[in-house]
Amino acid sequence: MDATAVRVVGSPPCRVGSRMSIVPGGEVHGTLGCAEFDAAAIEAAVDVWASGDPQTRTLHHDLGDIEVFFEPSRPASRMIVVSATDVARELRAAMGPLGTEVTLVEPRTDRVARGDGPVVASLADLDLSDYDEAVLTDHDAPQVTETLALLLRSPVRFVGVMGSRRHVGPYVDELRSRGFSDQELARIRSPLGLDLGGRTPNEIALSIAAGVVAARHERDGGWLDR
Amino acid sequence: MDATAVRVVGSPPCRVGSRMSIVPGGEVHGTLGCAEFDAAAIEAAVDVWASGDPQTRTLHHDLGDIEVFFEPSRPASRMIVVSATDVARELRAAMGPLGTEVTLVEPRTDRVARGDGPVVASLADLDLSDYDEAVLTDHDAPQVTETLALLLRSPVRFVGVMGSRRHVGPYVDELRSRGFSDQELARIRSPLGLDLGGRTPNEIALSIAAGVVAARHERDGGWLDR
């Protein structure tokens, strides 16, 4: 995240506009003018990062204070969409404006259409993190159980499977028999998305996109006015 | 809508593939082969139109029956977005994949950006119908009360106003004092959209788009799996 000195009071060793780039627990570049300010900024950055919201904090020095504007810039989330389906394509279109990159997973090369990229053949080719959201758009695809097992062992923050409980139930049962607990299995969101009642691929994609955003903000997706 | 003969039993005066184009209560083109089938199809079309879903019905004739596939093709809905705001622009992007044309209403020409078209200066320039959905994206715009009064007197099927109850309340009070009933005022949806928790223009637009689709299908939004 960026930490920028936006106000200087007294005569501390810092000028308005001095800036650091801080990855909490990682790389640091730039300086606010002295080791004390830099150390204080790195410490503050941990807090600000956890909050996710920009903040201005006052840092103290014997010669004067500075106000530092911290702006967390979390990496854009990534949506991993399994299976090249019409809904997968509409999801790419729906998530684009939200700054969410969509990566398609499809081992069946004959299903991949021009414009479907980036595509990987296997989920195992991806380095999964808690910035990833995963959606399975075809409960009849090969290796659904294995895909779900891999996702449940990963830190991805959202796992959704399109389809009714009737379709997804057998996979859940199979995963339970492989030792996944009910708590682990509860991560699988299915039926997936918000109840918009639409049936076309773009309506279904909108329902999933809206649900993913609601999940990001821990909301229930119901009407704001009802 | 189209009404197409898809099966013929016996020897009625009709061939598979015979087709009519029927606007319920309006123009009729083509024929299913005789006046009796055509009259029966026009009558059936009213029902099918009301249901909104495609249906196959059997039409009878002394010489034999035919099965006719009725496919209602309602005109694409139109979203009327009042005020040239960032949310208005994101709404256009969100509604496009759903086949919904967005018409912007903005009298302040200095607010209109390249790419905002089609734009009209006044709601009064539009021929409003029950295929229109209207969204006010700026509760501080000039003439909000007049705009809402015009929408409430129109057949538009959705009227939404962005903003908190605190912002919208005074307009509702003013409209009530002008004689609008509580039932009429209940058409105004505000705060607008589904509760996704997002704050950026594209998240807000997604919340509104999802809400409009939920309203089309008379659903409450909300998670499908919770």
B185 in the same domain as B98 = yes
Task: Tell if the CB–CB gap between A219 and B202 is shorter than 8 Å.
Answer: no
- In terms of residue numbers, what domain contains B148? 78-216
B6 in the same domain as B103 = no
B178 in the same domain as B156 = yes
In the listed set A39, A71, A103, which residue is the last one of a domain according to the structure?
A71
Which residue, chain included where needed, has tokens 């199979």?
A174
> Which residue of A79, A196, A208 is the best one to mutate when testing the B interface, meaning the one whose CB has the most B CBs within 10 A?
A196
Range in A43-52, B90-99, B121-130 the model is least confident about: A43-52
The beta-carbon neighbor of B225 closest among A191, A216, A222 is A191
Q: H helices of chain A, where?
A: 35-51, 86-95, 144-153, 165-177, 182-185, 201-216
Question: pLDDT tens digits for B106-144?
Answer: 999 999 998 888 899 999 999 999 889 999 999 999 999
Contacts of B47 (CB under 8 A, 6+ apart): none
When the pLDDT of each residue in chain A is averaged and rounded to a whole number, the result is: 93
Quick check: is B226 in a domain? no
Whether residue B17 is predicted with pLDDT greater than 80 in this model: the reply is yes
Instruction: Calculate the alpha carbon distances from A200 to A139, A165, A191, A210, B72 in Å.
Output: 17, 20, 16, 15, 15
Q: What is the mean pLDDT of residues A47-60?
A: 88
In the listed set A71, A97, A129, which residue is the last one of a domain according to the structure?
A71
Cβ-count burial B147-181 (b if 16+ within 10 Å, e if not): bbbbbbebebbbbbbbbeeeebeebbeebeeeebe
The first and second tokens of residue B200, run together, are 């950026």
Which residue, chain included where needed, has tokens 């000195």?
A5
Q: What is the pLDDT of residue A73?
A: 75
Quick check: is B100 in a domain? yes
Quick check: is B46 in a domain? yes
User: 3-class DSSP state for residue A158?
Assistant: strand
The beta-carbon neighbor of B214 closest among A98, A196, A209 is A196
Residues pairing with A9 in the sheet: A65
Q: What is the pLDDT of residue B26?
A: 82
The pLDDT > 70 percentage for chain A reads 99
Q: What is the pLDDT of residue A42?
A: 95
Quick check: is B13 in a domain? yes
Whether residue A74 is predicted with pLDDT greater than 90 in this model: the reply is no
Quick check: is A222 in a domain? no
pLDDT confidence band for A154 (50 / 70 / 90): very high
For residue B217, the distance in angstroms to the closest alpha carbon of chain A comes to 5
A19 in the same domain as A36 = yes
B134 in the same domain as B109 = yes
Task: Tell if the CB–CB gap between B214 and A226 is shorter than 8 Å.
Answer: no
User: 3-class DSSP state for residue A189?
Assistant: strand
The beta-carbon neighbor of A190 closest among B198, B219, B225 is B225
Winning range, highest mean pLDDT, from A67-71, A173-177, B114-118: A173-177
A50 in the same domain as A95 = no
Task: Tell if the CB–CB gap between B224 and A192 is shorter than 8 Å.
Answer: yes
B157 in the same domain as B62 = no
Q: What is the pLDDT of residue A152?
A: 97
Task: Please tell me which residue of chain B has the smallest CA distance to A194.
Answer: B223
In the listed set A54, A71, A88, which residue is the last one of a domain according to the structure?
A71
Quick check: is B99 in a domain? yes
For residue B76, the distance in angstroms to the closest alpha carbon of chain A comes to 14
Whether residue B210 is predicted with pLDDT greater than 90 in this model: the reply is yes
Q: What is the mean pLDDT of residues A171-194?
A: 96
The beta-carbon neighbor of B213 closest among A198, A213, A226 is A198
Whether residue A53 is predicted with pLDDT greater than 90 in this model: the reply is no
Write out the DSSP string of chain B.
-EEEEEEEEES-S--TT-EEEE-TTS-EEE-SSSHHHHHHHHHHHHHHHHH-S-EEEEE--TTEEEEEEEE--PPPPEEEEES--HHHHHHHHHHGGGT-EEEEE-S-GGGPPTT--SEES-GGGS---TTEEEEE--TTSTTHHHHHHHHHHS--SEEEE-S-HHHHHHHHHHHHHTT--HHHHTTEE-S-SB-----SHHHHHHHHHHHHHHHHTT--BSBTT-
Task: Tell if the CB–CB gap between A202 and B93 is shorter than 8 Å.
Answer: no
Question: pLDDT tens digits for A100-151?
Answer: 999 999 999 999 998 888 899 999 999 999 889 999 999 999 999 999 999 9
Task: Tell if the CB–CB gap between A225 and B191 is shorter than 8 Å.
Answer: yes
The pLDDT > 90 percentage for chain B reads 76
Q: What is the pLDDT of residue B71?
A: 86
Quick check: is B221 in a domain? no
Winning range, highest mean pLDDT, from A188-192, B2-6, B75-79, B127-131: A188-192
Bridge pairing between strands B101-105 and B119-120: parallel
Do the Cβ atoms of A1 and A70 come closer than 8 Å? yes
Q: How far is CA B142 from the centre of its chain?
A: 26
Cβ-based interface (< 8 Å): residues of A facing B: 90, 93-94, 97-99, 189-198, 202-203, 205-207, 209-211, 213-214, 216-226
Backbone angles phi, psi at A186, to 5 degrees: -65, -15
Give which of A70, A68, A71 is closest to A8, Cα–Cα. A68
Q: What is the mean pLDDT of residues B39-54?
A: 89
Q: What is the pLDDT of residue A57?
A: 94
Bridge pairing between strands B101-105 and B78-82: parallel
Bridge pairing between strands A78-82 and A132-136: parallel
When the pLDDT of each residue in chain B is averaged and rounded to a whole number, the result is: 93
ipTM: 0.76
Task: Tell if the CB–CB gap between A214 and B202 is shorter than 8 Å.
Answer: no
- Cis status of the peptide bond prior to A170, with omega within 30 of 0: no
Quick check: is B225 in a domain? no
**Distance between CA B52 and CA B107 in Å, rounded?**
36
Q: What is the pLDDT of residue B115?
A: 86
> What CATH number did the domain enclosing A143 receive?
3.40.50.720
Task: Please tell me which residue of chain A has the smallest CA distance to B90.
Answer: A97
Give which of A160, A2, A161 is closest to A70, Cα–Cα. A2
Count CB-CB contacts under 10 A for residue B226. Answer: 7
Number of structural domains in chain B: 2
For residue B207, the distance in angstroms to the closest alpha carbon of chain A comes to 7
The pLDDT > 90 percentage for chain A reads 77
Question: pLDDT tens digits for B66-82?
Answer: 999 998 876 668 999 99
> Which residue of A166, A220, A223 is the best one to mutate when testing the B interface, meaning the one whose CB has the most B CBs within 10 A?
A223
Q: What is the mean pLDDT of residues A166-178?
A: 94
Which residue, chain included where needed, has tokens 């015009």?
B150
**Distance between CA A72 and CA B5 in Å, rounded?**
63
Bridge pairing between strands B132-136 and A132-136: unpaired
pLDDT confidence band for A30 (50 / 70 / 90): very high
Contacts of A205 (CB under 8 A, 6+ apart): A87, A90, A91, A93, A94, B97
A34 in the same domain as A93 = no
Task: Tell if the CB–CB gap between B203 and A98 is shorter than 8 Å.
Answer: yes
B14 in the same domain as B82 = no
A202 in the same domain as A106 = yes
B106 in the same domain as B45 = no
A115 in the same domain as A57 = no
Q: Give the helix/strand (H/E) hosting A69.
A: strand A64-71
The first and second tokens of residue A126, run together, are 């991806």
Range in A4-13, A72-81, A166-175 the model is least confident about: A72-81
Q: What is the pLDDT of residue B75?
A: 65
The first and second tokens of residue B62, run together, are 């002394």
Q: What is the mean pLDDT of residues B173-198?
A: 96
Q: What is the pLDDT of residue B39?
A: 95
